Amino acid sequence: MTILRTDRDLARGRRAATLARGGGGSALQVAYAHIEATFAPAMGHSIFKDRVAALIAGGAGHQAARIRYRQLAERYPITNLDAAISLVRRMHEAEFEARATAIRAWGHSSRPRLPLMILDELRLILRVVRRHAPSRYPDLVAAVLAADVTNGHLHNGASEAAE
């Protein structure tokens, strides 16, 4: 049975609480150690990786993948995996820089966070594909593009915002 990242994070918190308790810490110190170890910055990475793993498990034809990535695949029909990785990296850097420029100029960014999240997910998915199944990349793109879009609510402005 595989152990989920969340289970590992919770076990790490329990170990930290046990160490704090063994070191003579108060109940408050034990609770703080447990919370800090469980919900450390690594937890954000674990949640992100779990979300991407769920998207990968759903496959390219899954509705969530179609909604997130179809417009990008239509706009940039790249059949080379390395070129796709490079393009997504450049798009991510451009979006990140646009957000940073807006923050420097105005103190906040009115740009939505969703494009960066989608591009982060896509970068990880493409790297996983490159590592484990690079020959399947054209099939994955075809599956995303072949999705049935008869429902009008599948339109997502995230790819326009990512520009």
- Distant-in-sequence, close-in-space partners of 123: CB < 8 Å, separation ≥ 6: 85, 88, 89, 92
For the stretch 56-96, pLDDT in tens is: 888 887 888 888 888 888 888 888 899 999 999 999 999 99
pLDDT of 103 higher than 80:
yes
Does the residue 120 lie in any domain? yes
Q: Is residue 46 within 8 Å of residue 6, measured between CB atoms? A: yes
Burial category of 12 from C-beta neighbours within 10 Å (exposed 0-12, middle 13-18, buried 19 and up): middle
Instruction: Please tell me the predicted confidence (pLDDT) of residue 153.
Output: 43
Amino acid 94: pLDDT:
92
DSSP state of 107: S
Q: Is 18 a domain residue?
A: no
Question: 52 in a domain, yes or no?
Answer: no
Distance (Å, whole) CA 140 – CA 77: 12
Average pLDDT, integer, range 121-125: 91
Range of the domain at 143: 60-161
Interval 14-57: pLDDT, tens = 999 999 999 998 999 999 888 888 887 677 777 788 888 888 88
User: What is the tally of structural domains in the chain?
Assistant: 1
In a domain, 53, yes or no: no
